[in-house]
Chain A
Amino acid sequence: MTGKKEQWGSRLGVILAVSGSAVGLGNFLRFPGQAAANGGGAFLIPYFCALIFLGIPICWAEWAMGRYGGQKGFHSAPAILGVIGKGRIPRYLGVTGVMIPLAVSFYYTFIAAWCLGYFYAYVTGTIGIDATMAVTEQTAASTQFYNDFTGTAGNGLMFGAGSVPTIVFWVLTFGLNIYLILRGLSKGIEKFVSFAMPLMAVCALIVLIRVLTLGTPNPDLPDQNVMAGLAYMWNPDFAALRNPQTWLAAAGQIFFSISVGFGIIINYASYLKRDDDVALSGLTAAATNEVFEVGFGGLITLTASFVFLGLTGTIAAVSTGTFGLGFQTLPVVFAQMGAIGPLVGAVWFFMLFLAAVTSSLSMYQPAVAFLQESLGVDRRRGTLYMVAICLVGSFMVIYFTEGAVFWSTIDFWVGTFLILIMAMLEIICFSWIFGIDVGWDEIHHGAQIQIPAVFRFIMKYVAPLYLLVVLVMFCITNLGTSIESIAQQPMAQLALGLIAVTMLILMACVYIGEKRWRAAGLDLDGKEMLPDWTPQAAAGEAAE
């Protein structure tokens, strides 16, 4: 439709691309914090429930919808949901599947640039934390470095003379993303993730081995040892399971973690061939993410913090949230590791940078694909339009840094709330409008594993209901205070304005695209099944 048809080079390539999209800062920083704050090891029970009953089923639905839509000639969430949902309403609502990755990229690339900047600071020895000082002074120095580097003290600080390096790191990070996007799916994204993912695993393994062999580094503080650190993270508090917040936090973590509800998997899967497997590929991508999250994130972050900062210091670190833990506490922890500390710090932040870039790439790709197919332009021009939108959004994020209010507002409304809405839209379109009988058949077309039949029931009833409960609880818990805070914060209002304008632009593109697709004779309302689908085939699957 817009020139040469793009495709993945190999199945492993697409699995690594989806895994790379899922593995991000949240795996190493958000997950351990959430677990520690919500029952320790007991958190893993609702966490795995959410993975099995919510994450993986929606993941399979996204893979199947993407591949099906791709066969109809579409590669973006609005167009594909129009096909699966059979009409205009899902198509327009599907704009959220472009809006989410695009708006999240406005601040995510900025955060990726912090990782690159911290890596550079470790390599050049300019992190500014003196291990001979008292830990409280080191923490103050680390916080100061973070505040200066991220400009949280006030708006416009990033454009002051002293903060030029942060902008340079952002330009490098954004430039790398755009270069890879321009190179295309196979030569850009796939090639990058094919070396970045294994490298990330090696980096994580190096840090893990170092952390697990720390023993009791300070004999004067025998309680601060590796085993006690693991106990802090993993000892269960089963009473937390009676708190609905624990279940909400676990479901939220799964959503942020495995990239469902973003509109990314739909886009990536749309470049698969008709007979390519989606069942095993989807499961493998989700499993890869879990290894980075539970296998590495669950063992490294809080254990290292506990060994050097003790119980009080680690509780304080967890309370500072994902970024406080990652960018303020861990540099202090690395400083306690002696001569090897800067090396471990460099490896750690390089790994986070790779994790962030493999994720940010997946945020740009859906927008480019959408602009290409809605406006009928080639990849180069689609990328140009996407860059224009991103420059405006990213400039606002980088300029309005005070208290991180601006990008936190986008993170809450787009990166959290809209994800739940998008996931609900997807599972309803797939299980109820497209129909679970057809959907089940579609997942198993070319599948290299047979999914247990119980998942058919889970996808039709359990996942939508589970998601509805999560959504309602989320609204009850958060919406009131969030709406109140908008009224008091001009920066939050400005962020919502940016979201609204971006949404309007994307809606206009759907309108233009709709006319083009209809004129081109494409089946944009999904009225006809693919030629190889027969009701008998679906009935046969249903009977199994």
Chain B
Amino acid sequence: MTIGGWILMIGSLSFVWGLVGWCYWKVLTTPDSTSS
């Protein structure tokens, strides 16, 4: 794989996994007003 391929693959995977991790961390650590 070329360096460009590595950069794009790792960059993309880091972005999506990082974003989803941060989002769920925020969701799970803030109070849920939906629960009744």
Interface residues of A (CB under 8 A from B): 7-15, 40-42, 44, 48, 227, 230-231, 234-236, 238, 272-273, 275-277, 280-281, 283-284, 287-288, 290-291, 293-295, 298-299, 446, 448-449
- With most chain A CB atoms within 10 A of its CB, the pick from B11, B15, B30, B34 is B34
**B5 touching A234, Cβ below 8 Å:** yes
B34 touches which one: A231, A272, A295 (CB < 8 A)?
A272
The smallest beta-carbon distance between B15 and chain A, in angstroms, is 7
Chain A residues with CB under 8 A of B36: 7, 9
Tell me the complex Cα distance, A245–B29, Å.
42
Q: How many residues of B contact A (CB 8 A)?
A: 26
- The distance from the CB of B22 to the nearest CB of chain A, in whole angstroms, is 8
7 contacts between A and B (CB under 8 A): A12-B28, A230-B5, A234-B8, A235-B5, A284-B26, A294-B16, A448-B30
Q: Looking at the complex, which one of A7, A238, A272, A287 makes contact with B19 (CB distance below 8 Å)?
A: A287
Shortest C-beta distance, B25 to chain A (Å), equals 10
Q: Which residues of B contact A293 (CB under 8 A)?
A: 16
**A44/B34 contact (C-beta < 8 A), A15-B27, A231-B2, A284-B20 known:** no
* Contacts A8-B34, A12-B32, A287-B16; A448 near B26 (Cβ below 8 A): yes
CB closest residue in chain B, given A7: B36
Residues of B within 8 A of A (CB): 1-2, 4-6, 8-9, 11-13, 15-17, 19-20, 23-24, 26-28, 30, 32-36
Closest to B1 in A: A231
Contact A11 B9 (CB under 8 A): no
Q: Provided the pairs A231-B2, A235-B2 are in contact, do residues A273 and B16 lie with their beta carbons within 8 angstroms?
A: no
Question: Beyond A10-B32, A41-B8, A446-B33, is A287–B27 a contact (Cβ under 8 Å)?
Answer: no
In angstroms, Cα B26 to Cα A535, docked, is 29
- A9 to B15, Cβ gap below 8 A? no
B32 to chain A, nearest CB (A): 5
Per CB-CB distance, the 6 closest pairs between chain A and chain B, nearest first, are A41-B8, A284-B23, A231-B1, A235-B5, A287-B20, A234-B5
Contact yes or no, B20 A9, CB < 8 A? no
A281 pairs with B12, CB closer than 8 A: no
Within the complex, what minimum Cβ distance (angstroms) separates A478 from chain B? Answer: 28
Question: Roughly how many angstroms separate A273 CA and B1 CA in the complex, as a whole number?
Answer: 49
A290 in contact with B16 given A41-B8, A41-B9, A227-B1 (CB within 8 Å): yes
Q: Give Cα distance in the complex from A283 to B17, angstroms.
A: 13
Complex CA distance for A11 and B23, rounded to whole angstroms: 13
- Tell which of A41, A283, A294, A295 touches B23, judged by Cβ atoms closer than 8 Å: A283
Residue contact B8 to A44, C-beta cutoff 8 Å = yes
Query: Which of B2, B8, B12, B27 makes the CB contact (< 8 A) with A11?
Result: B27
Contact in complex: A9, B35 (CB < 8 Å) = yes
Q: A11-B27, A280-B23 are in contact. Are A44 and B1 (CB under 8 A)?
A: no
Considering the chains assembled together, what is the distance between the CA atoms of A144 and B16 in angstroms? 38
Measured between beta carbons, the chain A residues less than 8 angstroms from B28 are 12
Residues in B with CB closer than 8 Å to A295 are 13, 16-17
Q: A11-B34, A288-B20, A291-B17 are in contact. Are A42 and B8 (CB under 8 A)?
A: yes
Bound complex: CA A449 to CA B19 (Å): 13
**How far apart are the CA atoms of A11 and B26 in the complex, in Å?**
12
Residues of the A chain whose Cβ atoms lie less than 8 Å from the Cβ of B1 = 227, 230-231, 234-235
Q: A48-B15, A236-B8, A294-B13 are in contact. Are A287 and B23 (CB under 8 A)?
A: yes
CA A231 – CA B19 in complex, angstroms? 24
CA distance A2 to B32 in the complex (A): 27
